[in-house]
């Protein structure tokens, strides 16, 4: 109960931050919307030039929206944690009864909220602009959403842990780390397109299973439970690794005296 | 009968080749105000950080309110608090929002009322609605002190508690801290470079040099022991290692 109270206090802290600044709310929606518009027009062009795309016209738009779930989920964790580092607040936080795992819980919750605002806005925008509703995917959408969100959380915690360990000089990892896996996640093309050795790498990522699963629903109207279960199992592993790295970095920061001194 | 609420036994902190704290042992009695005095790099902030578990010692044992801080620090952190110029509060939150978040983290009841009371005591009511980042250094110090008293701490750790305050405000704050100690029976451990503050507030002074305790006594007895008129002169003697009494009277 006390633990929930402290998680709630930290969620309140991040809510204050977002609520106070309209540019922050706008920013949450801005990039997903820009991506959506870009890929919307690309789709319109290719619909008359690609027989593959003509079979499932919304596949690129679904892909860009779901990719943003992963990206926003990761940023939601990393950037919220960076706020504590920018404001040199870690010393006060961890002198309080707040536990590191409770901070992790709060970061995940606020990431969920930020992702729903950002990606939800873009998904709603797609309906009037391109006559595409991702909600047409039905219940499988929930499986896609949560698998990608959890993967984003895992990478976000990994990045937060590395920045806690190596300092804010490494903060650009928050923006670039996720793009290292984009080419092998099969966002806009099937995994079969990749060279054999790279396909092995791709199938080690939860995101590849989700995007393959998305195409199965859109092209074949089949929900591949096997792919979702594999993604969920990999996500469990990813989340354990991400949380483990973050907690190890926290212990290292306590050993090296960084909690009092880290900041801008 | 002795009732130590802070106990350090053989505490050492080493960073690679640097020995920041060297086998320090001392205890602080319930209800007392104890100062850690020493020059820059003497180990004061390092000791305060280790007491809260923000920093892990290389060796030794730390017991706070009867609890082993290396194993069970979460059991007592609700009863302890810290004010330090080395940490800040979120710049883009208002003072009230910051205090609300911390009050909830510490499990304070009747949060709004507690904030109003502290705002009046620390004269911060006028800027509760302002963002923390827009405050002057002195205003931030008062907010940090208000934050440190949100949970009625039984043990209050203060690192340079009146840094950045003008003499009048600093005097008021010292008076408040003294009143708080007397009313609550709380134990205060403070690191300070302000000798007047130490003379006025503290019953007990621990002198540190290069990570070691070199002397400990009441301010009056230290003056007598070193044959000096002010604590500042004693501080300079100890910091420069020119004291005549060596480790005579060293308490642990």
Our CA-based measurement puts residue A256 at a distance from the nearest CA of chain B, in whole angstroms, of 7
What are A's interface residues with B at a Cβ cutoff of 8 A? 2, 5-6, 8-10, 12-13, 16-17, 20-21, 83-84, 86-99, 251, 254-257, 259-261, 263
In 3D, which of A235, A11, A15, A174 has the Cα closest to residue A102?
A11
Find the closest chain A residue to B133 by CA distance: A87
Instruction: Note the ipTM here.
Output: 0.88
CA atoms of B226 and B246, how far apart (whole Å):
10
CA atoms of A121 and B16, how far apart (whole Å):
51
CA atoms of B76 and B65, how far apart (whole Å):
7
Do the Cβ atoms of B161 and B83 come closer than 8 Å? Answer: yes
Our CA-based measurement puts residue B188 at a distance from the nearest CA of chain A, in whole angstroms, of 16
> What pLDDT, on a 0 to 100 scale, did the predictor assign at position B239?
76
For residue B16, being part of any structural domain is answered with: yes
* Residue B114 clears pLDDT 80, i.e. is over it: yes
| Residue for token pair 């990522």 | A205
Ramachandran sector of residue B32 (left: φ over 0; alpha: ψ -120 to 50; beta: rest): beta
pLDDT, tens digit, 9 for 90 and up, residues B121-169: 999 999 999 999 999 988 998 999 999 999 999 999 999 888 778 888 8
For residue B250, being part of any structural domain is answered with: no
Q: Do B77 and A13 touch (CB under 8 A)?
A: no
* Residue B1 clears pLDDT 70, i.e. is over it: no
Of the CA atoms within 13 Å of residue A2, those in its CB half-sphere come to: 14
For residue B245, being part of any structural domain is answered with: no
pLDDT, tens digit, 9 for 90 and up, residues A134-161: 999 999 999 999 999 999 999 999 999 9
Task: Name every chain A residue with its beta carbon within 8 A of the beta carbon of B80.
Answer: 95
> What pLDDT, on a 0 to 100 scale, did the predictor assign at position B244?
59
Total domains present in chain B: 1
Range of B178's domain? 4-240
- A218-231 mean pLDDT: 94
Q: Do A97 and B97 touch (CB under 8 A)?
A: no
Look up the CATH number of the domain holding residue B92.
3.40.50.300
pLDDT band at B252 (very low <50, low <70, confident <90, very high): very low
Residue A261 or A167, more confident: A167
> What pLDDT, on a 0 to 100 scale, did the predictor assign at position A124?
94
């Amino acid at each position: 109960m006390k633990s929930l109270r402290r998680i709630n206090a930290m969620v309140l802290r991040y809510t204050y931050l977002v609520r106070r600044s309209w540019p922050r709310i706008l920013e949450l929606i801005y990039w997903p919307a820009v991506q959506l518009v870009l890929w919307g027009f690309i789709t319109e062009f290719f619909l008359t030039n690609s027989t593959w795309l003509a079979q499932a016209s919304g596949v690129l738009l679904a892909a860009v929206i779901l990719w943003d779930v992963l990206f926003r989920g990761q940023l939601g964790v990393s950037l919220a944690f960076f706020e504590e580092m920018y404001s040199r607040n870690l010393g006060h936080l961890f002198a309080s009864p707040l536990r590191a795992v409770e901070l992790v819980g709060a970061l995940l919750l606020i990431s969920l909220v930020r992702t729903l605002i950002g990606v939800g806005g873009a998904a709603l925008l797609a309906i009037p602009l391109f006559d595409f509703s991702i909600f047409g995917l039905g219940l499988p959408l929930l499986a896609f959403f949560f698998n990608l969100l959890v993967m984003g959380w895992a990478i976000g915690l990994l990045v937060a842990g590395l920045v806690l360990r190596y300092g804010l000089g490494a903060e650009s990892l928050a923006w670039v780390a996720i793009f290292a896996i984009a080419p092998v996640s099969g966002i806009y093309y099937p995994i079969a397109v990749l060279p054999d050795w790279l396909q092995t790498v791709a199938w080690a990522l939860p995101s590849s299973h989700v995007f393959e699963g998305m195409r199965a629903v859109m092209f074949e109207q089949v929900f591949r439970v096997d792919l979702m279960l594999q993604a969920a199992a990999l996500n469990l592993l990813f989340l354990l690794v991400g949380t483990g790295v973050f907690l190890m970095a926290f212990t290292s920061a306590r050993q090296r005296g960084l909690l009092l001194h880290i900041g801008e | 009968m002795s009732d130590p609420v802070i106990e350090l036994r053989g505490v050492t902190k080493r960073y690679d080749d640097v020995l920041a704290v060297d086998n320090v042992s001392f205890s602080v009695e319930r209800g007392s105000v104890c100062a850690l005095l020493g020059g820059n790099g003497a180990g004061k902030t390092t000791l305060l950080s280790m007491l809260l578990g923000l920093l892990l010692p290389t060796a030794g044992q730390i017991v706070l309110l009867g609890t082993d801080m290396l194993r069970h620090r979460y059991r007592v952190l609700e009863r302890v608090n810290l004010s330090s110029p080395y940490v800040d509060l979120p710049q883009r939150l208002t003072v009230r929002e910051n205090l609300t978040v911390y009050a909830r983290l510490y499990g304070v009841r009747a949060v709004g009322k507690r904030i109003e009371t502290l705002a009046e005591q620390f004269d911060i009511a006028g800027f509760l609605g302002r963002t923390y980042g827009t405050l002057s250094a002195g205003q931030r110090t008062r907010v940090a002190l208000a934050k440190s008293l949100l949970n009625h701490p039984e043990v209050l750790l203060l690192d340079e508690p009146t840094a950045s305050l003008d003499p009048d405000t600093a005097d008021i704050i010292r008076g408040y801290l003294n009143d708080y100690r007397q009313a609550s029976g709380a134990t205060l451990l403070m690191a300070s470079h302000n000798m007047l503050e130490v003379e006025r507030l503290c019953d007990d002074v621990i002198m540190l040099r290069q990570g070691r305790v070199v002397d400990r006594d009441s301010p009056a007895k230290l003056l007598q022991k070193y044959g000096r008129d002010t604590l500042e002169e004693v501080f300079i003697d100890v910091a420069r290692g020119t004291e005549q009494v060596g480790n005579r009277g060293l308490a642990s």
